[in-house]
């Protein structure tokens, strides 16, 4: 039987006298917020609706000396890392009403990148909860999972000119998928074999959740065989900058093609036309692949210039997107790979003669490269057909 839907009258029974006097405030809340209010009070919290002028959170809750801000979301897609990042930024502000922690409640759940980010950055001032069968579940990662997809996904990372970060994008996207629990095949189609030089045979990324980690295996095109790597469901190819030098059998397999570029005048004037021609070349061999333009080395502090350049570049790809629904310009407001010294100096281990690694080390508050690539994984999962891995209990919900 479907879960019983909470009626407004039932929710009103748990309101305080103060709430009843301000019934208009509670009526202002959404049905999901009212349900969360009820469930939090059933958990022993004192809870109330946020002030009318407050846009950063939806509820306030109190328990002994604890005071927490609550964000409530009811949306079809899972809550993604960008949404959680914004809430964490609010909690870190000095004027965040002295909240000691935050609670993020979702009816649809959270992407795997959200859980990975909280673990990797050791964030302790945010709790995640999902609503299932009129219950509030805080230990929700396993319950929030879905069946692993059977089909192997192929992703090609193409260059539009030298120095835009094709190899760096391919390697760190593989690393972000690995942090989310995938074993990855990273195939070097470029004659220069930079991946093999930088990562050797591959890297192992240990898990922070008490389970075995994941492996990124660096392979040549001839070494990859789906039957030999049955547990590997994501294949990422660092493509040759000469389009015709890429094996056509891989071009035809690609489900997604990512083309990094830069948000600067030179990148727009030169790269946009090259990207369009590359899209046309891909389409001659593969009519189904999702084609995506990604901004790399994004200078986040140049807000005014970025706004203008973003508008120009987005306009250049608008006609292509109108003709081809599988062509996407990823707005840097959604996802971009920010400029960082970690990424600029990635590969320095070759000179230090240390073991291969990725640029995911936490410096200061976060590891921004790790966050950006996890957000890219989120974008692919939410805007395409890639499904989160290791998700076995959703069918029981």
Tokens of 92: 């870190």
Using one digit for the tens of pLDDT, what is the confidence trace for 60-82? 999 887 889 999 999 888 899 99
Identify whether residues 50 and 104 lie together within a single domain.
yes
Sign (positive or negative) of CA dihedral 328, 330, 342, 303? positive
- In this predicted structure, the answer to whether residue 48 has a pLDDT above a threshold of 80 is yes
- Tell me, what's the pLDDT at 8? 43
Residue range 315-344: mean pLDDT, rounded: 91
What per-residue confidence (pLDDT) applies to 363? 84
Q: pLDDT tens, 331-348?
A: 999 999 999 999 999 989
pLDDT of amino acid 176: 95
Alpha-carbon gap, residue 179 to 320, rounded angstroms: 34
Of the listed ranges 19-28, 125-134, 189-198, 344-353, the one predicted with least confidence: 19-28
Q: Look at residue 28 in the predicted model and tell me its pLDDT.
A: 59
pLDDT at 66: 82
* Residue 288 · residue 254 · CB < 8 Å: no
Q: Do residues 19 and 166 both lie within one domain?
A: no
Closest listed residue to residue 293, CA positions, set 308, 271, 311, 312: 271
Please indicate whether residue 395 or residue 290 has the higher confidence score (pLDDT): 290
Q: What's the domain count of the chain?
A: 2
Query: Does 232 share its domain with 165?
Result: yes
Last residue of a domain, one of 137, 162, 182: 137
| Domain identity same for 307 and 207 | yes
Domain that holds residue 53: 8-137
133 with 219, same domain? no
143 assigned to some structural domain: no
3 domain-assigned = no
Answer yes or no: do 117 and 172 share one domain.
no
Q: Domain for residue 2, yes or no?
A: no
* Residue 346 pLDDT: 93
Domain boundary among 71, 104, 137: 137
**pTM beyond cutoff 0.85:** no
**What is the domain-level CATH number for residue 129?**
3.40.1350.10
Residues 122 and 198 in one domain: no
Residues 59 and 180 in one domain: no
pLDDT higher at 7 or 226? 226
Whether the predicted pLDDT of 26 surpasses 70: no
Strands (E), 189-311: 202-205, 214-219, 232-238, 256-261, 290-295
CA distance 93 to 90: 5
Residues 283 and 173 in one domain: yes
Domain assignment present for 233 = yes
Tokens of 37: 């209010």
Q: What is the pLDDT of residue 209?
A: 65
Q: Which helix (H) or strand (E) holds 47?
A: strand 46-49
In degrees rounded to 5, what are phi and psi of residue 137?
-115, 115
* Residues 118 and 176 placed together within one structural domain of the fold: no
Domain contains 1: no
> What is the spatial distance between Cα 232 and Cα 52, in angstroms, rounded to a whole number?
49
pLDDT of residue 1: 40
Other CB atoms within a 10 A radius of the CB of residue 384 amount to 16
Q: What is the CA radius of gyration of the chain?
A: 23
- Identify which of 3-7, 73-77, 88-92, 172-176 has the greatest average pLDDT: 172-176
174 and 263 housed in the same domain: yes
Task: Judge whether residue 147 has pLDDT over 80.
Answer: no
Instruction: Kindly state the average pLDDT of the residues 18-31.
Output: 54
Is 284 part of any domain?
Answer: yes
Query: Is 380 domain-assigned?
Result: yes
User: Mutual orientation of helices 368-383 and 166-179 as an angle, nearest 10°?
Assistant: 80
Q: Which residue, 105, 137, 169, sits at the end of a domain?
A: 137
CATH number of the domain where residue 188 is located? 3.40.50.300
Which residue from 55, 85, 79, 54 is spatially nearest to 300, judged by alpha carbons? 85
Coil, strand or helix at 287:
coil
Q: State how far the Cα of 195 lies from the Cα of 212, in Å rounded to an integer.
A: 24
Residue 375 predicted with pLDDT over 90: yes
Grade residue 161 by pLDDT with cuts at 50, 70 and 90. low
Cα separation, 246 vs 243, in Å, equals: 6
Based on the fold, state whether residues 307 and 182 are members of the same structural domain: yes
Q: pLDDT band for position 353 (50/70/90)?
A: confident
Any domain includes 95: yes
């Amino acid at each position: 039987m479907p879960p019983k839907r909470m009626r407004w009258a039932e929710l009103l029974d748990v309101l305080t006298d103060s709430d009843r006097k301000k019934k208009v405030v509670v009526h202002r809340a959404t049905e999901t917020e009212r349900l969360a209010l009820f469930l939090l009070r059933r958990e022993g919290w004192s809870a109330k609706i946020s002030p009318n002028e407050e846009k950063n959170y939806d509820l306030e809750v109190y328990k002994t000396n604890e005071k927490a801000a609550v964000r409530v979301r009811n949306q079809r897609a899972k809550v993604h890392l960008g949404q959680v990042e914004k809430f964490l930024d609010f909690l870190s502000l000095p004027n965040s009403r002295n909240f000691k922690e935050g609670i993020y409640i979702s009816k649809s759940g959270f992407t795997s990148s959200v859980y990975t980010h909280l673990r990797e950055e050791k964030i302790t001032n945010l709790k995640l909860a999902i609503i299932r069968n009129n219950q509030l579940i805080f230990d929700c990662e396993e319950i929030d999972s879905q069946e692993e997809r059977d089909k192997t996904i192929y992703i090609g990372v193409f260059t539009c000119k030298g120095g835009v970060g094709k190899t760096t994008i391919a390697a760190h996207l593989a690393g972000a998928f690995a942090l989310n629990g995938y074993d990855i095949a990273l195939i070097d189609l470029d004659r220069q074999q930079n991946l093999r030089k930088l990562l050797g045979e591959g890297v192992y990324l240990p898990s922070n959740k008490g389970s075995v980690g994941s492996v990124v295996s660096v392979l040549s095109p001839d070494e990859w065989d789906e039957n030999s790597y049955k547990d590997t469901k994501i294949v990422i190819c660092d493509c040759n900058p000469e389009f015709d030098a890429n094996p056509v059998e891989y071009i035809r397999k690609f489900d997604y093609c990512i083309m990094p570029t830069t948000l600067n005048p030179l990148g727009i004037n030169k790269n946009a036309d090259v990207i369009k021609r590359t899209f046309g070349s891909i389409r001659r061999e593969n009519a189904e692949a999702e084609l995506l333009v990604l901004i790399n080395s994004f200078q986040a502090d140049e807000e005014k210039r970025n706004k203008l350049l973003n508008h120009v570049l987005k306009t250049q790809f608008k006609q292509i997107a109108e003709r081809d629904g599988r062509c996407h310009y990823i707005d840097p407001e959604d996802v971009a790979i920010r400029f960082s010294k970690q990424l600029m100096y990635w590969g320095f281990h070759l000179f230090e003669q240390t073991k291969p690694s990725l640029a995911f080390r936490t410096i200061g508050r976060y590891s921004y490269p790790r966050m950006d690539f996890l957000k890219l994984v989120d974008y692919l999962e939410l805007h395409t057909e890639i499904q989160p891995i290791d998700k076995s209990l959703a069918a029981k919900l």
